[in-house]
Amino acid sequence: MTQSPPPAEGLSGACQAHTEVSKSGERRVELGKKVTLLRGISIIIGTIIGAGIFISPKGILIHSGSVGVSLLVWIACGVLSLFGALSYAELGTCIQKSGGHYTYILAAFGPQMAFIRLWVELIALRPAAMAVISLAFGQYILEPLFMPCAIPPLAIKLATTMGISAVMYLNAMSVTWSARLQMFLTFSKLLAMAIIIMPGLYRLFAGETSNFENAFDTAKMKLSGMPLAFYSGMYAYAGWFYLNFVTEEIENPERTLPLAICISMVVVTCCYVLTNVAYFSVMSVDELLASEAVAVTFAERVYGGFSVAIPVFVALSCFGSMNGSLFALARMFYVASREHQLPMVLSMIHVRRHTPLPAVFVLFPLTVLQLFVGDIYGLLNFMSFMRWLFIAIVVLGLLYLRYTQPHLPRPFKVPLFIPVVFCITCFFMVFLSLYSDPLNTGIGFAISLTGLPAYYIFVTPHQKPLWLQRVLGKQWCGGLILIP
């Protein structure tokens, strides 16, 4: 990799304030530390809470078999997610680099394993996940306009494309405004949940508890279904790791990262449990399972005509998840480029806006492609087990680093049983996937293995053809500057 070019002439004073001088005497543009405690909390909460809790919290209820057991599963999944988040907090405070999963696997197990994780994220998992949540945004933002008619599929995809474009443009233009929008959207999500929780608790305290009678009746519960219930619950809490993707931009990460994670997970767990209690205060088990959009059905019974506002809140919730996940994922691609595992252009920062602009837009073409072709939900099914496999590997890396590097500074250190319990749970879910759906799991595993030849073609210098080295190593600078 060649030396980074100096900043373009004519930099404004504001830009110079974010420019540092390296040991070699060159000026460097750095990502600013603009993520405060409140913004960190909004990133975690705003990314975790998507459309699922408003649309169809049926997976846990179906597999748990009763109201009481399903609520216990929601609580247990919140605690397990907190265990995982605390493990990531330790990693984030002792390895203070952005990039999340990628950075920690790189530190513990080396570049090959880290690149496979990166490869899975880039070519399949993240474009598909972004497309799914974006499609939910497109559907629910248009629903008030088309009610009671069906929404044309093309209209949903066009609205979805506009939503993705808006999120990427905002993240490319300003870190500050992206963070401010995330805080607003997080407040909107919590307001929507409060609109559901308050009348539900009121009805419960007023004595309408018929749906909670025999709450722990285990006649319909099957032990074989409990792992699947936990799998659904852990998926609903997914997103607690996104703040670790922006560690370098956090103010005082030793304090902010663990505190933001603890506050966020407590808030999300309480909101999830109370929202489900509110649902059951209005709907029976059979009615909830028959509903296509639980929050809409709930609002129709409680608020009547005001239920039209619920799709708007769901759309805002999806938009917040899109914004938070893109904000974090762009930093992973930026760090991977900085580690020479992606094209150098992705580690460029805009000299005036101080955003990793190329890294923000790298997912755009693949995500839009996923919108119009392919079975997105099928892709997520066979890639979901890889998510938990690599999260388990990350936490296993924490244990490995404690053994191999005991003197590594750890400003925040969790008790040993926390990463051990979480790691065992994740591996259990992975092995369950191998047992319950070997075909799709095998396909996902095969896609992941394509990262090995890709590593030797695109990353290992001696394996690259000369023309490919020229293409991937070409530097350009049009308002951007490369960070070596």
**Whether pLDDT at 388 is above 80:** yes
> What is the pLDDT of the chain when averaged over all its residues?
80
pLDDT of residue 18: 43
- The H-or-E segment that residue 94 falls in is helix 67-94
CA nearest 427: which of 231, 276, 291?
Answer: 231
CATH class entry, domain 32-482: mainly alpha
Residue identified by tokens 């890396």 is 397
Q: What is the structure's pLDDT at 383?
A: 65
- Return the ∠ at Cα 75 (arms to 73 and 80), rounded to 5°: 90
Question: Cβ atoms within 10 A of the Cβ of 465, count?
Answer: 9
pLDDT above 70 for 3: no
Is a pLDDT exceeding 60 seen at residue 130?
yes
Q: Which of 62, 425, 386 is nearest to 224 (CA)?
A: 62
My answer on whether omega of the bond before 148 falls inside 30° of 0, hence cis, is yes
Query: What percent of the chain clears pLDDT 90, i.e. is strictly above it?
Result: 15
Position 475 scores a pLDDT of 44
Enumerate residues 6+ apart whose C-beta is below 8 A from 395: 84, 87, 88, 419, 422, 423, 426
Band of pLDDT at residue 480, cut at 50, 70 and 90: very low
| Interval 268-283 mean pLDDT | 91
Specify whether the CB–CB gap between 164 and 319 falls below 8 A.
no
| CA proximity to 49, closest of 199, 295, 270, 237 | 237
Residue pLDDT, tens place only, 19-35: 444 444 445 555 567 78
| Residue in the block written with tokens 């949940």 | 193
Q: Residue 159 pLDDT > 70, yes or no? A: yes
Which pLDDT value is given to residue 463? 52
Quick check: 67 and 359 in contact, CB under 8 A?
Answer: no
Each residue of 67-105: pLDDT tens digit?
888 899 999 999 999 999 999 999 999 988 888 889 999
pLDDT(167) > 60:
yes
**DSSP letters of 422-433?**
HHHHHHHHHHHH
Query: What pLDDT is stored for residue 20 in this prediction?
Result: 47
Structure tokens at 412: 């925040």
| pTM of the predicted model as reported, rounded to 2 decimal places | 0.82
Please list, residue by residue across 238-267, b when 16 or more beta carbons sit within 10 angstroms of its beta carbon and e when fewer do: bbbbbbbbbbbbbeebbebbbbbbebbbeb
Predicted confidence band of residue 394 (pLDDT cuts 50, 70, 90): very high
Owner of token pair 């088309």: 146
Confidence of residue 382 (pLDDT cuts 50, 70, 90): low
Domain range summary for the chain, segments of one domain joined by +: 32-482
The pLDDT tens digits of the residues spanning 78-88 come to 999 999 999 99
Higher pLDDT: 218 or 363? It is 363
Quick check: helix, strand or coil at residue 79?
A: helix
Confidence at residue 452, expressed as pLDDT on a 0 to 100 scale: 84
Query: Cα 230 from chain centroid?
Result: 18
| Element (DSSP H or E) covering residue 28 | strand 27-29
Q: How far apart are CA 429 and CA 176, in angstroms?
A: 38
The reported pLDDT for the residue numbered 14 is 28
Average pLDDT over residues 113-135: 84
Indicate the length of the chain as a whole number. Answer: 484
**Which pLDDT value is given to residue 484?**
43
pLDDT tens, residue by residue, 34-59: 788 888 898 899 888 887 787 768 87
Q: Is the pLDDT of residue 380 over 70?
A: no
DSSP per-residue codes, 431-484 = HHHHHH-HHHHHHHHHHHHTHHHHHHHHTSGGGS-HHHHHHHH----SSEEE--
- How confident is the model at residue 335, as a pLDDT? 86
Angle at 238 between CA 42 and CA 116, to 5 degrees: 115
Nearest to 135 by CA among 347, 370, 297, 326: 370
- Give the pLDDT band (50/70/90) at residue 464: low
